[in-house]
């Protein structure tokens, strides 16, 4: 949760065609751009360098850069998205990470894995199997990160939930914010877990970035619980990304 860099990508007009589990309306580009600018400004306010990549019209979901790579201190791993329309986003991200890292590896397949299913904690890397991340993808990542001395543990994303991190986020070295439904799976044993408030499950996709916890706006009870627990909460509008099942973590690579 302590980072010196982030990579983001500006949303494009293509977002109207972004993937979604359920159609709850068309995202509005101007509103998404405004929220995105607030998000980037908040990351920058911590003193981190934010590399802002240009919009990509041809990939409707390209604003959700988190799914394209895993960035660790030792190197970066290019993902292999389970969503066919998102596969090309990985090659668009790779040159940027090659400039920043000496060691860049690739998930070659046949498995699939998306960054949204990966939660890096201080002690291990948790990867949730989901509709986008399969056993072969997890196994290939496990082999790569073991070269770098990391332990990987395979867990499960609840049915009907897009990504593992849709339902959880790391708050500090020992604390995780999670929905009750995900915590009930037992995957966070040994951690301190704070639950999102009832009916505010979408607040689980927050991020701790240096001194701030960036939370989607509109979940007042969870935001209050976090500030009472001592976290400095910044609420960012997520109305447009939410239409595409996206949240705070999806919008950046952090390292």
Q: Phi, psi at residue 21, to the nearest 5°?
A: -75, -35
Site for ligand CIR in 116-135 (CB under 6 A): 116
Cβ pair 115, 143 in contact under 8 A: no
Cβ closer to ligand CIR: 85 or 185?
85
235 interacts with ligand CIR by CB under 6 A:
no
Catalytic residue status for 250: yes
83 interacts with ligand CIR by CB under 6 A:
yes
Cβ closer to ligand CIR: 83 or 197?
83
Cβ closer to ligand CIR: 235 or 246?
246
244 interacts with ligand CIR by CB under 6 A:
yes
Cβ pair 51, 239 in contact under 8 A: no
Q: Which stretch binds ligand CIR (CB under 6 A): 12-20, 28-36, 145-153, 219-227?
A: 12-20
Q: Is 164 exposed, middle or buried (0-12, 13-18, 19+ CB in 10 A)?
A: buried
CB of 21 to ligand CIR, least distance (A): 7
CB of 114 to ligand CIR, least distance (A): 7
Residue 1 to residues 104, 167, 176, 207, 212: CA-CA distances in angstroms? 21, 17, 11, 8, 10
CB of 180 to ligand CIR, least distance (A): 19
- What does the buried/exposed string (b/e) look like for 224-243 if buried means 16 or more CB atoms within 10 Å of the residue's CB? ebbeeeebebbbbbbebbbb
Among 74, 3, 11, CA closest to 42: 3
Cβ closer to ligand CIR: 118 or 234?
118
67 interacts with ligand CIR by CB under 6 A:
yes
Cβ closer to ligand CIR: 31 or 229?
31
Catalytic residue status for 38: no
Catalytic-labelled residue, pool 112, 163, 187, 241: 163
Q: Tell me the DSSP string of 35-80.
A: HHHHHHHHHHHTT-EEEEEPP-TT-TTTT-GGGGEEE-SS-EEE-B
- What does the buried/exposed string (b/e) look like for 172-181 if buried means 16 or more CB atoms within 10 Å of the residue's CB? beebbbbbeb
Number of C-beta neighbours around residue 106 at 10 A: 16
39 interacts with ligand CIR by CB under 6 A:
no
Site for ligand CIR in 43-62 (CB under 6 A): 61
User: Which residue in the set 36, 80, 112, 163 belongs to the binding site for ligand CIR (CB under 6 A)?
Assistant: 163
Q: Which residues are catalytic?
A: 163, 250
Q: Which residues bind ligand CIR (CB under 6 A)?
A: 18-20, 61, 64, 66-67, 83, 86, 115-116, 162-163, 165-166, 244-246, 249-250
């Amino acid at each position: 949760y302590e980072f010196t860099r982030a990579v983001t990508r500006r949303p494009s007009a293509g977002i109207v065609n972004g993937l979604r589990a359920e159609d709850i309306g068309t995202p509005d580009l101007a509103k998404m751009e405004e929220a995105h600018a607030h998000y980037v400004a908040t990351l920058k306010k911590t003193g981190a360098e934010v590399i802002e990549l240009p919009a990509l019209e041809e990939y409707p979901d390209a604003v959700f850069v988190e799914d394209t790579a895993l960035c660790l201190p030792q190197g970066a791993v290019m993902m292999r998205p389970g969503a066919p329309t998102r596969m090309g986003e990985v090659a668009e991200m790779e040159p940027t990470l090659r400039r920043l890292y000496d060691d860049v590896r690739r998930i070659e397949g046949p498995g699939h894995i998306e960054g949204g299913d990966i939660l890096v904690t201080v002690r291990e890397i948790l990867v949730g199997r989901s509709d986008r991340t399969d056993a072969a993808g997890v196994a290939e990542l496990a082999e790569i990160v073991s070269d770098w001395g990391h332990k990987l543990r395979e867990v499960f994303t609840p049915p009907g939930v897009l990504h593992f991190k849709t339902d959880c986020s790391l708050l500090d070295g020992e604390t995780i914010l999670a929905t009750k439904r995900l915590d009930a799976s037992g995957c966070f044993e040994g951690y301190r877990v704070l639950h999102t408030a009832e009916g505010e499950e979408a607040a689980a996709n927050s991020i701790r970035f240096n001194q701030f916890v960036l939370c989607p706006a509109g979940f007042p009870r969870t935001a209050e619980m976090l500030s009472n627990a001592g976290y400095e909460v910044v609420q960012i509008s997520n109305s447009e990304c939410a239409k595409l099942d996206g949240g705070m973590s999806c919008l950046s690579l952090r390292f």
